[in-house]
Amino acid sequence: MSEAVSLKEVSKSYGEIQAVKDLNLNIPTGIVYGLLGPNGSGKSTTMKMMLSLVKPDSGSISIYGVDPQKDPLAVKRMIGYVPETLRLYEFLTSWEYLEFLCVIHGLNPSEEEPRIKEFFEAFELKGHENEMMGGYSHGMKQKIAIISALLGKPKLLILDEPLSGLDPKSAKIVKDLLTELSKEGVTTIFSTHVMEIADAICDKIGILYNGKKIVEATPAEIKKMANVPGSSLEQVFLEITGSSELKPIVDALIGKSDKH
Amino acid sequence: MNLVTSLKIADILILASARVKSTGMKVKSKTSIWEYTNFTMAAFFAILSCAGVFYAVQNYGISSIMVKLIFDQIAFFIPVGVTFSCIIFAVFYEFNQSTFNISLDAINWLPISASDYVLGSSICTLYFSLPILGLAYGASLILALMTNSLMVWGLSLFLGIVGGLIGGFATEILRALTNKASTTLFKKGGRASIIGRFILYMVFLSAFMIIFNSVVILQIAEWFNIVAGGAWFFPLFWPSLAVLSLQTNDLLMSLVYSSLSLLLAGIFFVTGSKIRERNWVPEPVSSVISSAETLKPLATSKGFLGFGRVEAKIIEKDFRGLIRRRELMVYLAVPFIMIIISIVSEGLGVLFDPAAHPTEKVGLFGNFGLGVIYLVYFLSIISIGQEGGAAINLLTAPIKPSNIARAKLISALILPLIIFALMILSIIIIVKPDTSLLMLSIVFGLSCITETSEVGLILGSRFVDYNEVPRARFVRPEGIIAGIIVVGMILLSNFATLWFAEDLELGVVTVPAQALMIAFLGLILNIAFLKILPSNIKHGLEKAPI
């Protein structure tokens, strides 16, 4: 399998805060790669560097052989992106917004309409096409953000918390879609805090902690690391990110700290 | 009411704009005084105007009587001028809040009273007018020192601040009333309701701006022949009348008008607080543009006027925003306000006076043209900032900055050019000028409009402000001021070319010569601005929240 994404010794800091440190990633084409880690571990910064939105301080990045800093336009043509915080044009209807994105991504005019309709039906948004998005619920907006990432037929999907706010049925659709796209050779990198989702759809998982990659393996391999039969991915995650000793913290928060 | 809370609200509203330029995660233990740039700018303008006036008085042999006269006029005009400038500035700069974003603002669910908010917000409005105040008070301070009128200056300063707060409170009343309009009339609806909302806002804003315009009030006062003794009839003049009374040593009346001014500020404040209490937050509009069955065919989205599909789509998006977003509608009201104010102040008599020279008649349209310049200036300077958080759509899209620059330029130019074309058509029908004068008017207008749009876009990108809460300002205040200065210089250079060409005495072809020279200047400036535009747009977009 050829490499879709390659990061070599990539570092990025914001002032005194080291967001990413000497990160190496090699993501083969056509897999679903889960980027996990606690808040502030550097997942979003890593994704933004792949998109050329953030410039790394050092190291090199290659997206299908293209350096995002040298040719951001070529990289953007290959990527579909769902940001962590939704950023839609609230004053447009979803139909107008997706039509806008079709043109921006250079889709053939004849395939725009059927493609948008297909997505509207799949995500059960039919009947809402002509409503201004300002009136949408969070889940509906999230669906539109996911559609907008898929619309331009990307080779690489970068999805930052794509399933937050989605109802179970839509979440299932997205999961199935990612698996199908993977079979067609589309690479997906996505972050999530829900371990069951990562376990269910990821071919490979990388866990970041304080800007560093501490583990990279398949979900099954990661579960084996716990050395306890029947361990869940969540248990292993908490163990390796040093968050397993939560009871004293919880107790302290509810005022039982003096008992410890 | 809690003054500490109000000051804290004002502080947050001010810092929202001041901190927008910090893109990195810089950690500071406490707020630096230098973040409040308008204090520095006000001090700078005060010193500058102080020095300028001192130099002018010393070097141009202005008599002491004349100095006193000038001071008296400035000191009288400052309080009322501050009130009106605060209203104008607030409506154009502090009024931009999308209903959707205000409905999500934390201020809605925090334990803050309406009066705390109204006072805090008005102090913030006053803060953004500080550079103008610095300019006026700096110039008048040196004159006051020269004429031994420090007490009058002090009263003028105090009542100027009161006037500024009155302006801020008046804007809060308008803000709360538009919240009400948005909530009660347009929660749901279709295309017709969008158009209805657009028209209502335009009428609402235009009426407000015209009612609170000093030129209009003075003209109305003149019509009723009450300027000299009866200005008391207009409460907004009370602060200025207090200053005037002190100038004529009528201490009692000065005290009465000062007290009335404070009372007026109180009334505006209480009214603003009461209205906001009832209409705290608008509900986001949830319009259905048309029925689900009637989807617009996509194949029609082709380019136009030599522009590609990408540019055409961005232009279309921007145009939709302009008529659907309440925070943008205010800019469309500008030309109408300017035209109405111009008609009220100067009348239309000269247009139909057979003895008037055609140049004089075309000159009257020049006043209307200023409205078009305002329109193109604001549409271009806010063009990048109005993308807000959604700018990431352009940032992550596979399009070049030059495509975005072209689209943004057309978006900003399209409406002003239509209005300009209508103006030229009116000139042809009403004035019937000769070809050379008509050509000059067209070249002059086009030159000013295109140059202004490019400068607006460049500065709007350089000083972009993507904040959507607590205020969406689209551009930082330094950008607005820098833009006004640069556009002023551009207009001046075009006018200077007119005068220069006249002085050359190029025989009988003076007017075409003027047109040629302006076209030449316009060509050079346009090429220069267009050259640097894409890189500035790229720079602006890179500051978008990601």
Q: What is the 3-state secondary structure (H, E, C) of B243-305?
A: HHHHHCCCHHHHHHHHHHHHHHHHHHHHHHHHHHHHCCCCCCCEEECCCCCCCCCHHHCCCCC
At B510, list the tokens: 């003076």
Is the per-residue pLDDT at B216 higher than 50?
yes
Strands A79-82 and A3-14, bridge-based pairing:
unpaired
**Pairwise CA distance, residues B417 & B330, whole Å:** 18
Of residues A223 and A21, more confidently modeled = A21
Q: Is A249 exposed, middle or buried (0-12, 13-18, 19+ CB in 10 A)?
A: exposed
Residue with tokens 């202005």: B62
pLDDT, tens only, B254-277: 999 999 999 999 999 999 998 887
A31-35, B276-280, B344-348 — most confident range: A31-35
Closest CA to A82 of B401, B181, B396, B190: B396
Indicate yes or no: CB of B298 within 8 angstroms of CB of A92: no
**Pairwise CA distance, residues A4 & A64, whole Å:** 5
Domain limits, chain B: 1-18+35-285, 303-546
* Average pLDDT rounded to a whole number, residues A251-260: 56
Closest Cβ opposite residue A81 in set B291, B320, B396? B396
Domains and CATH numbers, chain A: 3-259 (3.40.50.300)
Closest Cβ opposite residue A112 in set B294, B298, B545? B298
pLDDT at position B171, please?
86
| Cβ pairs bridging A and B (under 8 Å) | 133
Q: Is B54 exposed, middle or buried (0-12, 13-18, 19+ CB in 10 A)?
A: middle
At B210, list the tokens: 């015209």
Q: Categorize the per-residue pLDDT at B286 as very low, low, confident or very high, splitting at 50, 70 and 90.
A: low
pLDDT at position B524, please?
94
* Average pLDDT rounded to a whole number, residues B302-319: 79
> Is the minimum CB–CB distance between A129 and chain B shorter than 8 Å?
yes
pLDDT at position B523, please?
94
Element (H, E) at A212: strand A212-217
Q: Categorize the per-residue pLDDT at B27 as very low, low, confident or very high, splitting at 50, 70 and 90.
A: very low
pLDDT, tens only, B75-102: 888 888 888 888 877 777 766 666 666 6
pLDDT at position B502, please?
62
Q: In whole numbers, what is the pLDDT of chain A averaged over residues?
A: 85
pLDDT, tens only, A172-188: 888 888 888 999 999 99
3-state secondary structure of A202: coil
Is the per-residue pLDDT at A246 higher than 80?
no
At B358, list the tokens: 């055609």
Of residues A130 and B160, more confidently modeled = B160
Residue B470, preceding bond cis, omega within 30 degrees? Answer: yes
Residues of chain A contacting B397 with CB distance shorter than 8 Å: 76, 101, 104-105
**Pairwise CA distance, residues B93 & B121, whole Å:** 12
> Is the minimum CB–CB distance between A87 and chain B shorter than 8 Å?
yes
Residue with tokens 């070809």: B435
Closest CA to B245 of B233, B231, B255: B255
Closest Cβ opposite residue B392 in set A87, A92, A93? A87
* Average pLDDT rounded to a whole number, residues B207-234: 64
Residues of chain A contacting B399 with CB distance shorter than 8 Å: 73, 104
Q: In whole numbers, what is the pLDDT of chain B averaged over residues?
A: 80
Indicate yes or no: CB of B27 within 8 angstroms of CB of A16: yes
pLDDT at position B69, please?
86
* Average pLDDT rounded to a whole number, residues A213-237: 77
**Minimum mean pLDDT among A101-115, A203-217, B302-316: which range?**
B302-316
> Is the minimum CB–CB distance between A95 and chain B shorter than 8 Å?
yes
pLDDT, tens only, A142-159: 999 999 999 888 999 999
Sequence-ordered alpha helix ranges (H) in chain A = 43-50, 72-78, 94-104, 109-122, 138-151, 168-183, 195-201, 219-225, 233-240, 247-253
Is the per-residue pLDDT at B181 higher than 80?
no
**Pairwise CA distance, residues B505 & B503, whole Å:** 5
Of residues A33 and B56, more confidently modeled = A33
In percent, how much of chain B has pLDDT > 90?
25
Closest CA to B144 of B71, B57, B227: B71
Residue in A with minimal Cα distance to B403 = A104
Sheet with A187-191, strands from edge to edge, namely A79-82, A156-160, A187-191, A32-36, A204-209, A212-217
pLDDT at position B283, please?
55
**Pairwise CA distance, residues B302 & B72, whole Å:** 61
Give φ, ψ of A23 to 5 degrees.
-85, 130
CB contact burial B190-222 (16+ within 10 A = b; e otherwise): eeebbeebbebbbebbbebbbebbbebbbbebe
To test the contact with chain A by mutation, choose from B309, B411, B546 the residue with the greatest count of A C-beta atoms within 10 A, namely B546
Closest Cβ opposite residue A15 in set B25, B299, B390? B25
Closest Cβ opposite residue B320 in set A48, A85, A96? A96
Indicate yes or no: CB of A14 within 8 angstroms of CB of B297: no
Q: CA of A223, closest CA in chain B: separation in Å?
A: 34
Q: Is A165 exposed, middle or buried (0-12, 13-18, 19+ CB in 10 A)?
A: middle
Residues of chain A contacting B100 with CB distance shorter than 8 Å: 90, 134
